Chain A
């Protein structure tokens, strides 16, 4: 066997390894209902903030605790406990991606991280007259 063959085999082995570990090291985009069926597993849930319901952030009590309500893309609403500071500009967020786990039986989504799409930041803003 030539050295080039050995190198080839090692490359293929490492590449397959990379593919498999990558596929295993992912979370899943899901709805709240799907997250409910597997409490304790990590999911990414996409949705919108429920603007009617209350948000609680009391940094003087706990700067790393923020709760609000979110409606996922299938229309199910759930209370969210985010173990992080309230993101700057949260009120303007259009779409939210939560990363975390469902906690049963409280029916609360415990999120460790949040990603937001703020339309205001990239798209929004219409031409308007200034003085």
Chain B
């Protein structure tokens, strides 16, 4: 069949760029390899290599451009475009569509490597050939992920340009594709609503730039080992390592900000495998950068510096494998789905792991032997200890995160424990304590050796001041967690000591204060994390109707509040009223007003929060939070349940009417529910004061007794079953407080079951929402710390490059 209006040319162009980028990455890698041998032919190899890499770079830009054109023009004949975008989606999210899928995110990563490679071509001088050989090889592996060709029935890569929607195996039998005009009627599936957020426009490129930057210390380390220039690589690799620390750190925190703003997890960090997968390489990268610093100053810790530089890049590959192979499955909420590339990813991972290990092993005899140890009062010793602490900390995180991998390898059936977050916290708290303590004292040590008396004298003021400040914080914010207060102290100490160092010892010379500023930032991040999470207060509490004490105290999740439209309930220090819902596009906003009481007991409106539920017919309903930011705390709310069936605003019924009855067949002890109460059928009785109900003596009457429980109180209901002159004439029973009416219709003597009907007043079915509200105190310290940390790192890098 001839399909009309398809734009197959752009796919062919894109595919051509994919092939070119792969071929020229390989060619660049090979020719750089020969160029690195530094023999007679080397200069001409180098020329070929440089040109090849530039053609590769142009091709990657071409791929990116083609994919953008396809997304921008809504070419839904391509599966990738159909899958990740739609017509109604605002254009500002086109970037998010681009990297929502695996192919696009690989492309983003590849693109950053190209940018870095082009810079290195100009700046790495004598290291150009060996460093660029590694980077070109990495690029060959990455672009192979986009090839989408079959070799011996194995598909290599997934190509967004060659997979047409009508050829996709999942959709081959769809009648739509019998129509040559199918494109006229087709709309894309659209972008996941969770990703339609400005953070999703800036978080992935930042994070992937961070990932990409780890390739530089790795490539330099490999070059150092390969060309036996064991010490020379340190100096050029150092600024790159710190740029990586800054960018990856900011990228991770942006992810946290996105989770906090757009996801209903109730926080900015959940120790989710995907979060851990980017945190762990950051920790080892921080370790790498500091070890490079030690080595640059006194030539020590060389082996560990190599080891960490290689490990960091391998961990990036491992993280990629974890998040993209589908192995995380149930344990993560936002891992990518499997594209059948896990085998390819594993080859990629093991190739670079073995390359690193092999070169380290081959050079084992070339490492300088240190006869004298670093002194215990030297800066390098404590920096080394700090790097090791980070390594152990990342080991703990990675080992737990890799549980699904252990399950698969050793055929286990281990699931994460219920309190995953608590477990991580209890392990990571001591590490954070040691790290912040080292940050506090680190710069006061000198390289080689320090006069301990001078050291103590310089430290004393910061120590005493921090101790006082800790007590002050402890009492002013009622920090009632003694176990956590050691971290409270060490974080404050780290911030104070570094500030002191900056002003007293560096005399406020901002150019030299990069390290101090970055350390203050890190200490503030820790402080913000500690206070906002340990003092977080779930202010939405409901009184649970059922006892679950037998299952342990913490079992019941008592964190939701039910708000009925118009009612005002106390919540934390506020009084809240659910005002109603409004629909804007596919979003349903639930407006909740917050009031405080003034001295006269009058209500004063403070603000409105409108958490929303996004209803997308193709993706289901997604709750998104709404948060009110104050300088010292945030009020974070999200809707956990709302009745979305009656979206159209109902006209207020006259509230006294009863709705249609519901019939129930019950035996003794059975429980039924009305919309506002639990109803238990207790007993039947025949001893009835007939005169009270104005019944005749010969009437047969049976009374049923019900207990009716709502949140506050227990009521009783006792409707009557009456046979009067062979006719059933039941006497109804009303529970006016709850707007319920009972009718007792039938008794089955054979099994003791009875039949009743239950009516509710229409006012009972007023609109309501179930909501969770959390107060995060001092979370702004965290964001402030993140910004300061980035500024400090940039200052330090500028200073290093300037030297």
Contacts and interface: CB of A to CB of B under 8 A. Distances in A.
A112 to B, nearest CB: 5
A30 B413 contact: yes
A101 B400 CA distance: 23
Contacts of B618: 120, 124-125
Contacts of B76: 127
A11 to B, nearest CB: 6
Give chain B's interface residue range (CB within 8 Å of chain A): 35 or more
A117 to B, nearest CB: 7
B196 to A, nearest CB: 14
B74 to A, nearest CB: 12
Nearest to A83: B556
B381 A3 contact: yes
B108 interface: no
A11 B391 CA distance: 9
Given A11-B388, A58-B673, A61-B676, A110 B548 contact: yes
Given A61-B676, A103-B551, A120 B619 contact: yes
Given A29-B415, A130-B186, A63 B548 contact: no
B555 A62 contact: no
Interface string B296-321: 00000000000000000000000000
B176 A22 contact: no
A68 to B, nearest CB: 14
A59 B641 contact: yes
B416 A88 contact: no
A18 B389 CA distance: 13
Nearest to A44: B415
A112 B419 CA distance: 11
B271 to A, nearest CB: 13
Interface string B470-482: 0000000000000
Interface stretch (B16-24, B538-546, B740-748): B538-546
A52 B460 CA distance: 71
Interface string A110-131: 1011010110111111111111
Interface string A54-71: 001111111111000000
A123 B619 CA distance: 9
Contact of A83 (B170, B192, B417, B557): B557
A131 B185 contact: yes
Contact of B417 (A27, A57, A117): A27
A80 interface: no
B675 A60 contact: yes
A99 B419 CA distance: 11
A44 B658 CA distance: 44
Interface string B170-199: 110010110000100111010010000000
Interface string B387-413: 010011001100110010000000001
B675 A58 contact: yes
B118 interface: no
Contacts of B414: 23, 26-29
Contacts of B720: none
A72 interface: no
Contacts of B418: 27, 42, 99, 112-113
Given A28-B413, A29-B415, A61 B641 contact: no
A14 B385 CA distance: 14
Given A26-B403, A88-B613, A97 B185 contact: no
B675 A83 contact: no
Nearest to A34: B413
Nearest to B623: A88
A124 B76 CA distance: 16
A76 B413 CA distance: 19
B116 interface: no
Contacts of A97: 330
Interface string A85-96: 110110010000
Contact of A126 (B171, B333, B678): B171
A117 B548 contact: no
Nearest to A57: B641
A25 B417 contact: yes
A77 to B, nearest CB: 20
Contacts of A53: none
Contacts of B559: 64
Given A117-B330, A127-B171, A127-B176, A64 B620 contact: no
Contacts of A125: 189, 618-619
A83 B554 CA distance: 11
B253 to A, nearest CB: 25
Interface string B639-671: 111100000000000000000000000000000
Contact of B555 (A60, A63, A110, A126): A110
Contacts of B623: 88
Contacts of B330: 44, 46, 97, 115, 117
A28 B415 contact: yes
Nearest to B548: A83
B391 to A, nearest CB: 8
Contacts of A4: 373
A83 B555 contact: yes
B293 to A, nearest CB: 18
Interface string A6-44: 010001001100110111011111100000000000111
Nearest to B562: A63
Contacts of A110: 548, 551, 555
A131 B385 CA distance: 65
A84 interface: yes
A88 B392 contact: no
Nearest to A62: B545
B392 A85 contact: no
A7 B388 contact: yes
Contact of A65 (B176, B403, B546, B642): B546
A125 B79 CA distance: 12
Nearest to B419: A25
A41 to B, nearest CB: 11
In this complex, the member of A56, A123, A129 whose beta carbon has the largest number of chain B beta carbons within 10 angstroms is A129
B165 interface: yes
B710 A88 contact: no
Contacts of A130: 185-187
Given A99-B418, A126-B170, A127-B82, 18 more contacts: A2-B373, A18-B400, A26-B416, A28-B413, A42-B418, A59-B768, A60-B564, A62-B546, A62-B711, A64-B542, A88-B620, A88-B623, A92-B620, A110-B555, A118-B620, A121-B620, A127-B176, A131-B185
The 6 closest A-B pairs by CB, nearest first: A129-B185, A44-B415, A62-B545, A18-B396, A125-B618, A26-B414
7 contacts: A2-B373, A22-B400, A62-B546, A63-B542, A64-B558, A83-B544, A103-B550
